[in-house]
A and B are shown apart, each in its own frame.
Chain A
Amino acid sequence: MTKRKLVTATLFAGASLALTACGAASASHIVARVTTTTSLPSTSTTAPTVPGSVPASVPPAGTPTTTPSNGLSSQSLNQVAADLGSLDDNLITANSDLNHPQGDS
C-alpha cells in the first residue's frame, strides 16, 4: 500500500507539473499576443487623447534627434502621431455633424 501510494503521488506530482508547464506556456503565449496587439494602438492613440502633450515630447530645438541612423527619427514619428491625433478629433466632430444634425436646417 505504501509503495502504491508513493507511486500514485509521484504520478500526480508529475502530471500536475506537466499541466502547470502547459498552463504557463499557454498563459505566457496569450499575454504575449495581447501585449503585441495592444501595444501599437495604445501608442498611436496616446497622442490623440492628449494632443497638447505631444509637442512636449518632441525634443526642444537644438537637441539632436535620437535615431538619425535608421532614417526614421522619433521626432518625425511624434509629429505624425500628433497630426493623427488632431485628425482623430476632427473626424469625431465631422461624424457628430452627420450623425446628429440639427433638424434639416
Chain B
Amino acid sequence: MKHNFPRRMAAGALSAGAVAGLIFMVPGAAYAVPATTATTAGSNSTSPVSSPRCTPATFSQAQQLVEAALSARVTQLGALASEANNSANHLSTGDRQTLQNDISNVELPGIQALQPQAQQATTCAALRTVAHDMVFTYRVYVVMTPQTHLTIVTDDETYIEGVFVNLEPQIATAIANAQAAGKNVTAAQAAFGDLKSQVSSAQGETAGQSAQILAQTPSGYPGNWQVFLAARTNATNAHSDLHAAYADAQQIRTDLQ
C-alpha cells in the first residue's frame, strides 16, 4: 500500500506524452512502459536499447524525468526504511540492522547524491550517466524492495514458528491432564500431531531464507530475481503451514473445553 503513491507517480510520468519520446537514455528497460515506447519511437534508430531520446531540444524534459525518478526512489527508500525500523514486525535484530544499514546508509544517500547531479547536468551524456547509476547501482524497485519485504515476511514466520514451539509443551500437558480426567482426547491428539507437523514443515521452509535473501545485491540483478521468487514460494508455503497450525490449535482448545 505504501508503494502505491510512487508507483502511480512513476506510471503517471511514464504515460505523459512527452515521455514517450524521451525515455531514452535511461537503460531502456528501466521502465516497463517505455521499453515498448522506445522500440516504437526508436524506429529510426540503429540501436533501440541505448538509443538516446535526450536531445538538446528535449533535454529539459528528460532532466525532469530523471529528477522525478530519483525523487520517487527517495520516497520508496523512505518507506522501506520505515518498515525496517518498525518494531511491530518481527525482524531479527541482525536482519533489521542489515536492512537499516543497506537502505539508510547505502541506498538512500546514494540516490540523494544523484539528485544534485541530475539538477546540475547540462548535457544528455551527463544525464545519461546519472540515470544509469540510479538504475544499475541501486536497483531500488527490483532488489531492495522485494528484499526488504521478503525478509520481513520470513522473519515474521520464524517468530510465529517459535511461538508454536513454545506452546507445544503446554498443549501436551493439557491433553495429558484432560485424558487423566477421563476426557476423550483422540481428536485433540490428532490435531496436536498435525500442529507439530505443520510447524516443522514451516521451519523447513524458512530455514536459512533470510540470510539468502539479504545476500542479494543490486549488481546481482536480474539473476537474483529467481532467488526472490523461490523465497516467495517458501514463504507462501510456510504461511499456509502456520495457518493450518493455528486451526489445529483452535481445534485442540475447543476439544479440551
A contact residues vs B (CB 8 Å cutoff): 40-41, 43-44, 67, 69-72, 74, 76-77, 79-81, 83-84, 86-88, 90-91, 93-98, 100-105
Contacts and interface: CB of A to CB of B under 8 A. Distances in A.
B31 A98 contact: no
Contact of B173 (A40, A44, A71, A83): A71
A83 B156 contact: yes
Interface of B: 1, 3, 7, 10, 29-35, 69, 88-90, 134-135, 139-142, 145-146, 149-150, 152-153, 156-157, 159-160, 163-164, 167, 170-171, 173-175, 177-178, 221-222, 228-229, 232, 235-236, 239, 242-243, 246-247, 249-253, 256-257
B89 A84 contact: no
Contacts of A100: 7
B31 A103 contact: yes
Contacts of B160: 80, 83-84, 87
By Cβ-Cβ distance, the 8 closest A-B pairs, closest first, are: A71-B174, A70-B256, A94-B149, A71-B170, A102-B141, A103-B32, A97-B146, A103-B31
Contact of B90 (A43, A76, A83, A102): A83
B75 to A, nearest CB: 12
A74 B140 CA distance: 42
A39 to B, nearest CB: 9
A88 to B, nearest CB: 8
Given A98-B229, A98-B232, A84 B171 contact: no
Contacts of A76: 163, 167
Nearest to B169: A71
Contacts of B149: 90, 93-94, 97
A74 to B, nearest CB: 8
A43 B254 CA distance: 13
11 contacts: A70-B252, A71-B256, A72-B252, A72-B253, A74-B253, A80-B246, A83-B159, A90-B152, A95-B232, A101-B145, A102-B32
A94 B146 contact: yes
Given A77-B253, A83-B159, A94 B174 contact: no
Given A44-B250, A81-B246, 8 more contacts: A70-B257, A71-B171, A80-B160, A83-B163, A94-B235, A101-B32, A103-B31, A103-B142
A54 B58 CA distance: 54
Contacts of B157: 87
Contacts of A70: 174, 178, 252-253, 256-257
B141 to A, nearest CB: 4
Nearest to A81: B246
Nearest to B176: A71
A72 B195 CA distance: 13
A79 B243 contact: no
Contacts of A40: 247, 250-251
A30 to B, nearest CB: 21
A80 B141 CA distance: 31
Given A90-B89, A102-B141, A105-B142, A84 B30 contact: no
A94 B232 contact: yes
Nearest to B257: A70
Nearest to A93: B149
Given A79-B163, A91-B236, A102 B253 contact: no
A44 B10 CA distance: 36
